[in-house]
Structures are given as C-alpha cells and as structure tokens.
C-alpha cells in the first residue's frame, strides 16, 4: 500500500519534515551565490515574443541540487519541479519544487522571492516550506507544525482572525492579474479592501500564514507556485481554494484567505457578474 498522510507514523512524519528543511538548506547556497551578483542574466522561456518568463542559473542550480539530494535519499518519490521534467512517483509521494519563486524579483534584487518545497500525496500537498535565504526566514507548515524561523527566532504561524473585507489587506503579484475578465474580478475585491499591494510573489502567502495579510488572489499559477504556500497556510489555519471554492493544488485561479469569513466575502465578489 502506498503511504498516505493519514498513515504516516510519527517517526516518518518527523523524518519527512526534517528532509523538507534539508532540501531548503541544500538550495540556499545556490540561490545566494547568484543573488545581486554582477552580470546576472536570465533566459526568457518565451523566446518568441510572448512575454518575459525568466529563468536564471540560480533556478537551475537550486533545483538540480534538490533533485540530486532526493535521488540519493528517497529515489522512489516523485519530483515535480519548474525547470526540469517530472520524475514519476513510485512511492505515492511527490516533492513539488519551485527553486526560485519570484525570479523577476530575484533579478531586480528584491528579497521577496523564495524557494518553495512541498510534499504531496494523492489528496494534494500536506507539507510545505517557503524559504527566503537572503532574509534568513523559513516558513514551514504541515504534519502538525506551523512555524516561522528567522532573525528574531522561532514563532508559531497563525492566520489573522476574521475581520471585514473593508478592513482587509489584499495582495497579488502582478497588477494585471490575468485575463481582462480575471483582472476585472480582482478589481471588484480590491475596491472593497482597505489596502491592496503588489509584487511579493510567494512572500505574500507567507504573510497570510504569519497573520499579517488577509488575502492573496492570483491567476495563471502552476502547481509548483501554490503547493508549498497552500500547505503552509492551511497548517496556520487559513484557506486556499480556486475562485470557485474548489481545490487549488493544480494552480490556475487561486485565492488564499486568512479565515472563512473574508474568504467568503472575496469569493462572492470574484463570482459576481460585472
């Protein structure tokens, strides 16, 4: 029988959590080696004029290091990463990796990119790490844990208690959000929120888990963009769904909310006809 989160023994759960942190440790030096370095350049995955989707040497080096470590210690687990072809799972468990989430921010020298590592079974992600090597912050959630470790020590993660959307802080990465209709739906929510901010990539999701932000609403995501944030936020008591209130692990349209009340308010506006 393939392992499932509900059948994991305490020892195995602890070992998987420790491995998730080790993978973040393995990626850190490769990410930091290139950050704010002179001459850092990026290839465009959309080389024929369909926008700018950058990938750097740091993305490839960090994911290569993560994959090599997994091959050495858990070769039967699957791997789904952004930069290289997937490795099918033989164990029922799959590691989902975004070696640098926020490569545009990375290229710009901002410290709000991160290394995303998640572990999923047939029901989706259940363990996640959002790691920011430059700041030295690590947000971990799942398997009974929800904590952040950083320059000021270790603290529990807990999403913000319910308050009206009119008092909420809302984030998204790109002002244009997605298609014209998706942008219009986001604008309906933003018009009701107290404060709307842009450009934080995975760090915005970490702030939801930390109780600083009420909502993140995005579109056009891939599974490796949302798997780790989903696990971390759910472990901290929040909610992550698609814009219809269904599962979000596949990506696409995603709403991450600190609690059920603000989730419901935002969801209603996203699905209100213009």
Is 64 a residue whose pLDDT tops 90? Answer: yes
Which of 122, 141, 129 minimizes the C-alpha distance to 4? Answer: 122
User: Would you state the pLDDT for residue 52?
Assistant: 59
pLDDT category at 43 given cuts 50, 70, 90 is: confident
User: Would you state the pLDDT for residue 117?
Assistant: 98
CB 264 within 8 A of CB 163: no
Write out the E strands in the chain. Answer: 43-44, 54-55, 78-81, 94-101, 114-121, 124-132, 137-142, 145-150, 153-156, 169-172, 195-198, 215-221, 239-241, 252-257
Average pLDDT over residues 152-165: 97
pLDDT category at 50 given cuts 50, 70, 90 is: low
The structural domains of the chain, ordered by start, are 5-156 (3.30.540.10), 165-270 (3.40.190.80)
Average pLDDT over residues 57-75: 96
Burial 210-231 (b: 16+ CB within 10 A, else e): bbebbbbbbbebebbbbbbbbb
Is 45 a residue whose pLDDT tops 80? Answer: no
User: Would you state the pLDDT for residue 4?
Assistant: 77
Is 46 a residue whose pLDDT tops 90? Answer: no
Q: How far apart are CA 103 and CA 101, in angstroms?
A: 6
**pLDDT tens-digit profile of 185-213?**
999 999 999 999 999 999 999 999 999 99
| Average pLDDT along the chain | 94
Is 44 a residue whose pLDDT tops 60? Answer: yes
CB 35 within 8 A of CB 106: yes
Is 60 a residue whose pLDDT tops 80? Answer: yes
User: Would you state the pLDDT for residue 190?
Assistant: 98
**pLDDT tens-digit profile of 93-121?**
999 999 999 999 999 999 999 999 999 99
pLDDT category at 48 given cuts 50, 70, 90 is: low
User: Would you state the pLDDT for residue 78?
Assistant: 98
**Which SS3 state, helix, strand or coil, does residue 119 take?**
strand
């Amino acid at each position: 029988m393939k392992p499932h989160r509900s059948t994991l023994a305490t020892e195995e759960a602890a070992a998987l959590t420790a491995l998730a942190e080790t993978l973040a440790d393995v990626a850190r030096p490769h990410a930091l080696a290139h950050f704010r370095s002179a001459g850092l350049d990026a290839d465009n995955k959309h080389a024929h004029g369909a926008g700018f989707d950058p990938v750097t040497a740091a993305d490839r080096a960090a994911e290569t290091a993560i994959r090599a470590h997994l091959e050495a210690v858990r070769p039967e687990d699957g791997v789904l990463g952004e930069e290289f072809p997937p490795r099918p799972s033989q164990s029922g468990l799959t590691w989902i990796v975004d070696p640098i989430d926020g490569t545009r921010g990375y290229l710009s020298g901002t410290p709000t990119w991160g290394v995303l590592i998640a572990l999923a079974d047939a029901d989706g992600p259940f363990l996640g790490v959002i790691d920011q090597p430059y700041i030295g912050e690590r947000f971990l959630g799942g398997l009974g844990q929800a904590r952040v470790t950083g320059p000021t020590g270790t603290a529990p993660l807990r999403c913000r208690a319910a308050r009206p959307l009119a008092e909420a802080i809302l984030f998204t990465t790109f002002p244009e959000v997605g298609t014209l209709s998706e942008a219009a739906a986001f604008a309906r929510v933003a018009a009701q929120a107290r404060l709307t901010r842009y450009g934080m990539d995975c760090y915005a999701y970490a702030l939801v888990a930390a109780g600083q932000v009420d909502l993140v609403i995005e579109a056009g995501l891939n599974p490796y963009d949302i798997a780790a944030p989903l696990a971390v936020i759910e472990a901290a008591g929040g909610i992550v769904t698609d814009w219809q209130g269904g599962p979000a692990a596949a990506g696409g349209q995603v709403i991450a909310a600190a609690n059920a009340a603000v989730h419901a308010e935002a969801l209603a506006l996203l699905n209100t006809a213009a």
